Amino acid sequence: MAGLLPVTEAEIRFLRALRDSKIRFLLVGLSAAALQGAIVVTQDIDLWFEDLNDPRMAEALRKIGAAYVPPFDLNPPMFVGAGAELFDIVIRMDGLKSFAQEYKSCVDVKLGPLRLKALSLDRILASKRASNRPKDRLVLKLLRDTAAVPSKLRKSTRSRRKV
């Protein structure tokens, strides 16, 4: 278990390969909220990329035995291969600014041995409100309540929960 999200060594290698290749991406959605102290359950980790066509992406993925599959027919874009199964590719974020603008105000989160960039709780809330899907409406109050707790206190609560 890496922090509060159960990730495998292969998944950590996947994220490390992206980060070390200087590919700009953000953790978004409920997994990013969980890493900031929200007590939520999610089945995947959503990643939002600045440029899915960045040539460094294919090279980084090849090194770890994974690949990017672009969207086709009714299939969304996806990663396949070693450690890639947990990750969903987000191609747009409702209610937010451009990736570059959101990246400027992102937060650092710890996932296992890695420090990664994540969308802040207030921006996750903005996106969930804008998407207005039933499953997003269900978590709005919890995300608002979590965002109202000072970051320092959320961090100390996470540390106590890991024990």
* Domain 9-151 in this protein, CATH class: alpha beta
Look at residue 124 in the predicted model and tell me its pLDDT: 97
Other Cβ atoms closer than 10 A to 13: 16
Mean pLDDT, rounded, of the chain: 90
Q: Crossing angle, helix 140-148 and helix 121-131, to 10 degrees?
A: 160
Q: Return all residues near 67 (Cβ < 8 A) that are at least 6 apart.
A: 58, 61, 79, 80, 81
pLDDT at 38 over 70: yes
This prediction has a pTM of 0.88
**Average pLDDT of the segment spanning 68-85:** 92
Candidate from 1-5, 10-14, 78-82, 121-125 with smallest mean pLDDT: 1-5
The residue assigned the tokens 């903005």 is 126
| pLDDT tens column, 100-115 | 999 999 999 999 999 9
**Average pLDDT of the segment spanning 36-40:** 93
Domain segments of the chain as ranges:
9-151
Q: Label residue 155 by pLDDT band (50, 70, 90).
A: low
Bigger pLDDT: 116 vs 3: 116
Q: Tell me whether strands 45-49 and 25-28 are parallel, antiparallel or unpaired.
A: antiparallel
Residue 6 CB burial class (10 angstroms; 0-12, 13-18, ≥19): exposed
